[in-house]
Amino acid sequence: MLVITGRITMLGLSRWTEKGGSYRSIQRFYHSILLRRDAPDRGAVIRVGDLTLDPAHHAVERAGRRIDLTSKEFALIEYLMRNANLLITREMAEAHVWSYDYDGASNVVDVYIRRLRRKIDDPFEVKLLETVRGAGYRLSKPLVPVSGS
């Protein structure tokens, strides 16, 4: 049995890997615990402008219109909404949504942002997803009130 404390000792890590456990599995587990600590209520409905996400029902709406998303699209938009107006780098998004180390050659985050834009931004006049060139992405709260908010 491996006990995760505030730090993972090299001796404990060696014993874990000798018994067939991988360092990466420890990292993922430890990372998931860190993400849960002091986390806001994960069941609460999140709103950014006229975009609404209900984690309990795995539902997303914009201006009252239901938007169907895959599980990865849902995880990415939830992460962006929980961090609205903050810059999210590709590395941050990949680590949070895909839970593995970022590969600089990968464009998975860019692909999923494009998919989200098609579903969440393109059909609407007010755009919420913003590209910060050379840095990452931001889900921006609209400066002007959106009707229905």
Q: How far is CA 113 from CA 43, 73, 87, 110, 146, in A?
A: 24, 8, 14, 5, 22
CA angle, 117 then 50 then 86, to 5°: 65
Residue at 102: amino acid letter: Y
Tell me, what's the pLDDT at 99? Answer: 74
Q: Tell me the average pLDDT of the chain.
A: 80
Q: How confident is the model at residue 64 (pLDDT cuts 50, 70, 90)?
A: very high
Q: 65 near 59, Cβ under 8 Å?
A: no
- Stretch 134-145: mean pLDDT: 85
- Asked if pLDDT for residue 50 goes beyond 70, the answer is yes
Q: How confident is the model at residue 14 (pLDDT cuts 50, 70, 90)?
A: low
- Asked if pLDDT for residue 86 goes beyond 70, the answer is yes
- Asked if pLDDT for residue 44 goes beyond 70, the answer is yes
Q: What is the set of domains in the chain, with CATH numbers?
A: 1-39 (no CATH), 46-139 (1.10.10.10)
Question: What share of the chain in percent tops pLDDT 70?
Answer: 64
**pTM strictly above 0.95:** no
Q: How confident is the model at residue 38 (pLDDT cuts 50, 70, 90)?
A: very low
- Stretch 102-107: mean pLDDT: 67
Q: 54 near 45, Cβ under 8 Å?
A: yes
Each as own residue / partner, the long-range contacts of residues 17-23 (CB below 8 Å, 24 or more positions apart, any chain) are none
